[in-house]
Amino acid sequence: MLNIYFGNMEEAIYDPSMYFRNQYDEKWITDEISKKIIKVIDNSKVIDKKVIESPVLGSITPNDLSGGAKTLILIAHDKKNIFNATTCGENCANLLLELAKNRDITINLRYIMDFGKDEFKIKVKNSGKIVKNMNELLVEASKFV
């Protein structure tokens, strides 16, 4: 299930892009979930562990991916830390729910991400309340952010 702590969270990694630059593992880039993240979020294709083909920027390195893509890759692979996913735009919502399908994931958000019209299951960590749709999430999360 996806767990979200809304607002400032001291123990969260505030700047995931910086953390990614210093901590990412090259092996992560070529696995299926990273390839999917990079395709869906940045519309780019993984060539190998060091090179990604962007339709706008040409050949780039993993460090040149968008903040959202880097944060999602960290969430998928680094199970020790909680990341500030405010760097993730609303096009990351479905992938976040997908990552949280088979394991508990906790993220920090400083805005209320739009998870769409379909039903979902998200725990608002600040209160412990589980919400099932955007209306419930908006009411609960707006108390904290």
Partner 1 sequence: MKGEVELKIHNNKVNYNFVLKRNVTIVRGESGTGKTTLYRLVSDYMKDSKSSGVKITMSSGDSCIALNDTDFENQIKKTKNSVVFIDEGFIGFKNDDNINDFIRKIKKTDNYYVIFSRESFDKIPSSVEEIYEIKTRGKKHTFEKYYKINDYCRLIVDIRKKDKFVLFITEDSKSGKQFFKEYFKKTNIKVDSARGNSNIINKINENINVELLVMVDGAAFSPYIDKTYKMCKYNKNINICLPESFEWMILKSGVIKNKKIEKILKSTFEIIDITKFFSWEKFFTYYLEEITKDSKMLKYDKKKISAYYLKEKNMKKIVSVIGL
First to last CA, the chain: 21
What does the CA dihedral 26, 44, 42, 61 come to, rounded to 10 degrees?
A: 40
CB of 10 to partner 1, least distance (A): 8
Fill in the per-residue mask, 78 to 107: x = in contact with partner 1 (CB under 8 A), - = not in contact: --------xxxxxxx---------------
CB of 11 to partner 1, least distance (A): 12
Fill in the per-residue mask, 36 to 65: x = in contact with partner 1 (CB under 8 A), - = not in contact: -----xxx------------xxx-------
Structure tokens belonging to residue 116: 């769409």
Question: 36, 49, 110, 129: which one contacts partner 1 (CB under 8 A)?
Answer: 110
Contact, 56 vs 4, CB < 8 A? no
Is residue 128 involved in binding partner 1 (CB under 8 A)?
Answer: no
Phi, psi of 86 (to 5 degrees): -65, -20
Contact, 73 vs 95, CB < 8 A? no
Question: 2, 5, 16, 120: which one contacts partner 1 (CB under 8 A)?
Answer: 16
Is residue 33 involved in binding partner 1 (CB under 8 A)?
Answer: no
Cα separation, 120 vs 11, whole angstroms: 26
Contact, 36 vs 30, CB < 8 A? no
Structure tokens belonging to residue 13: 């990694």
Q: Which stretch binds partner 1 (CB under 8 A): 27-35, 74-82, 99-107, 111-119?
A: 111-119
Q: Which residues bind partner 1 (CB under 8 A)?
A: 8, 10, 14-18, 41-43, 56-58, 66-69, 86-92, 110-112, 114, 134-135, 138-139, 141-142, 145
